[in-house]
Chain A
Amino acid sequence: MTVQYAGFFTDLIKAVSAVVDEGDFKATATGLRLISMDPAHISLVDFELPKDSVEEYELSGDVEITINMLELLKFLRRAKKNESLTLNYDSEKRKLTIILTNQAAARERTFQLSTLEPVEGGRTTAPRLTFDATARISTEALWEAIEDSSLVADSMKVTIARDTVVFTARGELGTVENKLTVDGAMVHEVNAQKEASATFALTYLEKIVKAGKDLSEETLLMLSMNKPIKIGFPLPNARLEYLIAPRLE
């Protein structure tokens, strides 16, 4: 598999590693996919890189590649801006080869990484959930709300109403509220049949949105009353969606 911009792929892997330390990737005829929960089963990441969105994609049969994400990231962080990335996987030897190529300078760097024993079970399909309210908002505004909230509390309540998206945090020392209204520049779209709200741990929100903001200026939030939230980062050529379980008082 070859990706034109190594940096883009690195950002994607960073985003996946916000949830999992061990990535269980499945390479099939349609592309590269990972659906996985963190060890505590509080958050889930759904990642897909369709075969059409990469330069080159060849496969001799479906394979499962289990990788220590931090080890992979160590290598990927070496990538420079103008380098392309090629990944080769030898399923017999369980070795992943990472080739960084700078066409202009005619330089090629090769790294090899041992992969891990595949984990039994694991999900292969995205979970189906229905949502009462969705909002498309600026990722920066969401990140700001998270940073503000972490000043007073360790969780944040997300409310999507007919024409507003509100983030509130309540702590012993004070409260913080971030209110985004539909006619402003921060909210691109709100679709709420009825008002929905739920509270989420900031630790998870922080890790996920921090990774997502490097990739997408826009965030899709999907919510039902006191149910998990779906956070999607719309990308032109990849899927990056998360679920976080709520906190209930």
Chain B
Amino acid sequence: MEVYGELNRELRLERVDCEVCEGVPRRCRLESCPFYAHLIDLSKRLASKESYVSGFTPPNVLVGKAGYPRVQVGPAVSPNDDLRSALTSQPSVWLDRSIDELLTARLSLLLTRRQMRVTEVRDWNRIFEAIALSSMSLKPVDLEVKVIGSPALRPHFFARSHPYGPSARLSEVKVVSNVRVPRAVDDLAHERGLRVADAVKELCERGYDEYYITRLLSIGVLGTLRDRRLVPTEWSITATDDIVSRIYLKGMRDYNAIHDFQLYSSSVLHNKAFVILLPTPWMYELLEGWVRFFSIYSDYEILRPRRDYADNTGGAFYAVRLGLVKSLSRLRKRAGALVIFEIGEGWVPLGVWRFRELVKRALASKPEVHETLDEALKSVRARLELPLDLYLSKSRLYKLLRTQRRLDEYLDQ
């Protein structure tokens, strides 16, 4: 599982371009942080409210990766009932919110944490039962948590998890509403003979989305007894993207090949996605451009899913791939894809979900159909902030496609 670990690159990239601290942690002060300042009140209120907090979890259970295999785990709870719809655990609707709305909602979550050995999930104690049940629920779950000490509030933005509000040590947790766990999931949690990959496959076939599967994988309720362990949230997101997209890729063989270059695009929240479907066997490349840093990162794969970790684009590579193959399966199309994803200056790191969701949204729109790749790229050129040539200079697939001739040029038809 180490392959899904965080990379330095992401720390460098997905940081907040804050006007106050300019991204230098030393200068960062909570009181002056424009993103966190308004939370100080909330944090104080929480601290004075004795140590019991009642609220709901969207559901959202976070497993940290620091100190692995002794990690921090706990549900994120919002005491503010008005935020129930804003905090939905369905990222597909987040694309239509403003960055401010998203941030406010995320930062209002109280993050509880309790240290656990990752293998402790096999013992299924009382506290873990409440944590696991809330993670397995499809709907928000009402919880009563007892925290020790006053909540700590530290600004932090990470590549693959959403930012969170105050955090506090968890000593007790009680589920106070009815939890609805789908029958099939309950069965899988009790089935100790099925491997994780097979369990994930079954969940996919039953139509559960990647966000739900990620939660189940992270909390360690799937797989054989030996497989069961807590998986840090960041790793489980990429692991789920990878496992699920491989399942869809296998199914893609049955669909119809395309015969032209189809350009799909969508842009929202300072992120722009351009997906060019190629009339080729499976080949996929992500060109990720950061306007703020004037730099492009790329990773690709040809014919089959790559075996080594996509070092340059990290979790984004797998998130985009999942968005792609799910959409292709819906469209019943078989194609390769060149994806240009541009992240504008106004973006604040809120997680990799937007890669997945924006690509899905792009592929739900009507495509522009082009005869050649160059024509399709010409249409993209005007809509990018960074120069197209900069993207193409980093692209392996472009080089491959540009130099590859077709047999028709040589044959007597």
Report the stretch among B65-73, B93-101, B404-412 that lies at the interface.
B404-412
Interface residues of A in 167-206 (CB under 8 A from B): 199, 201, 203
Instruction: With A21-B253, A70-B253, A203-B281 as known contacts, state yes or no: A245 contacts B407, CB within 8 Å.
Output: yes
A245–B404 touching, CB < 8 Å: yes
B406–A42 touching, CB < 8 Å: yes
For residue B48, CB closer than 8 A to chain A, the reply is: no
- What number of B residues sit within 8 Å (CB to CB) of A? 25
For residue A38, CB closer than 8 A to chain B, the reply is: yes
Which residues of A lie under 8 Å from residue B33 when comparing CB positions? none
B302–A203 touching, CB < 8 Å: yes
Which residues of A lie under 8 Å from residue B302 when comparing CB positions? 154, 203
Instruction: With A39-B280, A154-B396, A203-B303 as known contacts, state yes or no: A243 contacts B407, CB within 8 Å.
Output: yes
A247 and B396 alpha carbons, distance in the complex (Å): 14
A128 and B411 alpha carbons, distance in the complex (Å): 7
B407–A201 touching, CB < 8 Å: no
Which residues of B lie under 8 Å from residue A203 when comparing CB positions? 281, 283, 302-303
**Could you mark each residue 40-53 of chain A with 1 if its beta carbon is under 8 Å from any beta carbon of chain B, else 0?**
11111000000000
Instruction: Give the distance to chain A from B17, nearest Cβ to Cβ, in Å.
Output: 32
Other-chain contact of B407, A44, A199, A247, A248 (Cβ < 8 Å): A44
A41–B403 touching, CB < 8 Å: no
**Could you mark each residue 260-293 of chain B with 1 if its beta carbon is under 8 Å from any beta carbon of chain A, else 0?**
0000000000000000001111010000000000
A39 and B253 alpha carbons, distance in the complex (Å): 12
A155 and B405 alpha carbons, distance in the complex (Å): 13
A128 and B343 alpha carbons, distance in the complex (Å): 50
A134 and B396 alpha carbons, distance in the complex (Å): 31
Which residues of B lie under 8 Å from residue A207 when comparing CB positions? 303
A246–B405 touching, CB < 8 Å: yes
A42 and B302 alpha carbons, distance in the complex (Å): 15
For residue A129, CB closer than 8 A to chain B, the reply is: yes
For residue B257, CB closer than 8 A to chain A, the reply is: yes
For residue A68, CB closer than 8 A to chain B, the reply is: yes
For residue B1, CB closer than 8 A to chain A, the reply is: no
Instruction: Give the distance to chain A from B280, nearest Cβ to Cβ, in Å.
Output: 5
The residue in chain B whose Cβ has the minimal distance to the Cβ of A38 is: B281
Which residues of B lie under 8 Å from residue A39 when comparing CB positions? 257-259, 279-281, 334
For residue A127, CB closer than 8 A to chain B, the reply is: yes
A249 and B278 alpha carbons, distance in the complex (Å): 20
Which residues of B lie under 8 Å from residue A21 when comparing CB positions? 253, 257
A212 and B254 alpha carbons, distance in the complex (Å): 24
A70 and B251 alpha carbons, distance in the complex (Å): 11
A43 and B408 alpha carbons, distance in the complex (Å): 10
Other-chain contact of B412, A38, A128, A227 (Cβ < 8 Å): A128
Which residues of A lie under 8 Å from residue B278 when comparing CB positions? 40
The residue in chain A whose Cβ has the minimal distance to the Cβ of B407 is: A245
A245 and B405 alpha carbons, distance in the complex (Å): 6
For residue B382, CB closer than 8 A to chain A, the reply is: no
For residue A228, CB closer than 8 A to chain B, the reply is: yes
For residue A37, CB closer than 8 A to chain B, the reply is: yes
B403–A247 touching, CB < 8 Å: yes
A4 and B279 alpha carbons, distance in the complex (Å): 38
B400–A41 touching, CB < 8 Å: no
Instruction: Give the distance to chain A from B257, nearest Cβ to Cβ, in Å.
Output: 4
B409–A245 touching, CB < 8 Å: yes
B281–A127 touching, CB < 8 Å: no
A43 and B396 alpha carbons, distance in the complex (Å): 20
B410–A42 touching, CB < 8 Å: no
A40–B280 touching, CB < 8 Å: yes
A37 and B280 alpha carbons, distance in the complex (Å): 12
The residue in chain A whose Cβ has the minimal distance to the Cβ of B409 is: A245
B407–A154 touching, CB < 8 Å: no
A40 and B303 alpha carbons, distance in the complex (Å): 13
A40–B279 touching, CB < 8 Å: yes
Among A37, A41, A201, the most chain B Cβ lie within 10 Å of the Cβ of A41
A199 and B303 alpha carbons, distance in the complex (Å): 19
Other-chain contact of A247, B253, B405, B412 (Cβ < 8 Å): B405
Which residues of A lie under 8 Å from residue B409 when comparing CB positions? 245
A42–B279 touching, CB < 8 Å: no
A166 and B402 alpha carbons, distance in the complex (Å): 25
Instruction: Give the distance to chain B from A227, nearest Cβ to Cβ, in Å.
Output: 6
The residue in chain B whose Cβ has the minimal distance to the Cβ of A20 is: B257
Which residues of A lie under 8 Å from residue B405 when comparing CB positions? 42, 245-248
B410–A245 touching, CB < 8 Å: yes
B403–A249 touching, CB < 8 Å: yes
A127–B412 touching, CB < 8 Å: yes
A129–B396 touching, CB < 8 Å: no
List 14 A–B pairs whose Cβ atoms lie within 8 Å, in order of A's numbering.
Answer: A21-B253, A38-B281, A39-B257, A39-B258, A39-B259, A39-B280, A39-B281, A42-B405, A70-B253, A127-B412, A199-B403, A203-B303, A247-B403, A248-B405
Chain B interfacial positions (CB closer than 8 Å to A): 253-254, 257-259, 278-281, 283, 302-303, 334, 396, 400, 403-412
Known contacts A40-B278, A203-B302, A245-B405, then 9 further A-B pairs from the complex at CB < 8 Å, ordered by chain A residue = A39-B258, A129-B410, A154-B302, A154-B400, A155-B403, A207-B303, A228-B410, A247-B403, A247-B405
List the 4 closest A-B pairs by CB distance, nearest first.
A39-B257, A247-B403, A127-B411, A41-B406
